[in-house]
A and B are shown apart, each in its own frame.
Chain A
Amino acid sequence: NAGVMQNPRHLVRRRGQEARLRCSPVKGHSHVYWYRQLPEEGLKFMVYLQKENIIDESGMPKERFSAEFPKEGPSILRIQQVVRGDSAAYFCASSPRQRTGRYEQYFGPGTRLTVT
């Protein structure tokens, strides 16, 4: 059983370029979450998506950041016009929706973005 897949694992972008981070959830999971982790810190929530819907984007910066989870294909976190402060590890997590209401989140290995 494949876990959460993220690619690329490492991404280097110059200031002003665009970064696209991909996440394929665990097979059968319909809920995807994106988190950002700065060095020596815990993970911070960014956005929660279901297929074709953004459920909660309260952690997303208002500008330059967007996320989608299309009906087919992986979830995409897109950062336009990257700045040095965007350098971080970005993690995707997925969860099933169970009748019990128990829906643990399982994380991918992350994408480490470096902006030069």
Chain B
Amino acid sequence: GQQLNQSPQSMFIQEGEDVSMNCTSSSIFNTWLWYKQEPGEGPVLLIALYKAGELTSNGRLTAQFGITRKDSFLNISASIPSDVGIYFCAGQDEKLTFGTGTRLTIIP
């Protein structure tokens, strides 16, 4: 089956630092999505990417859809405490195939 691998698995950063995480797939997807999940809640959509090479921003978040359609990265600039959570990438072909997640922790 399709697999999406995310890295890193976890990150420990200080407030104000920039964050970068990426996601690779063994298959091509036409749409990539990035979600954030907090404890006890459902995933919240952050950014959607539709075209290979597309670079999209949403506030302090920036994501790019790889040219090969098999990878994507998400950057968060100037992290703040509310950025804490688990970030998932997902490839879409009707249904979503989720990545393994990156857990972001901010060190006080």
List chain A positions with a Cβ less than 8 A from chain B.
4, 6, 33, 35, 41-45, 48, 55-56, 59, 91, 93, 102, 104-110, 112
Q: Report the minimal beta-carbon distance from A113 to chain B, rounded to whole angstroms.
A: 14
State whether A110 touches B94 (Cβ < 8 A).
no
Distance in angstroms between the alpha carbons of A108 and B44 in the assembled complex: 9
List chain B positions with a Cβ less than 8 A from chain A.
4, 31, 33, 35, 40-45, 48, 50, 88, 92, 94-101
Main secondary structure on chain B at its contact with chain A?
strand
State whether B42 touches A107 (Cβ < 8 A).
yes
State whether A45 touches B45 (Cβ < 8 A).
no
Main secondary structure on chain A at its contact with chain B?
strand
Q: Which of A44, A55, A91 contacts B94 (CB 8 A)?
A: A55
Q: Report the minimal beta-carbon distance from A36 to chain B, rounded to whole angstroms.
A: 11
**Residue of chain A at shortest CB distance from B103:** A40
Q: Which of B31, B41, B43, B96 contacts A45 (CB 8 A)?
A: B96
State whether A48 touches B98 (Cβ < 8 A).
no
Q: A42-B100, A42-B101 known; A48 and B45 CB under 8 Å?
A: no
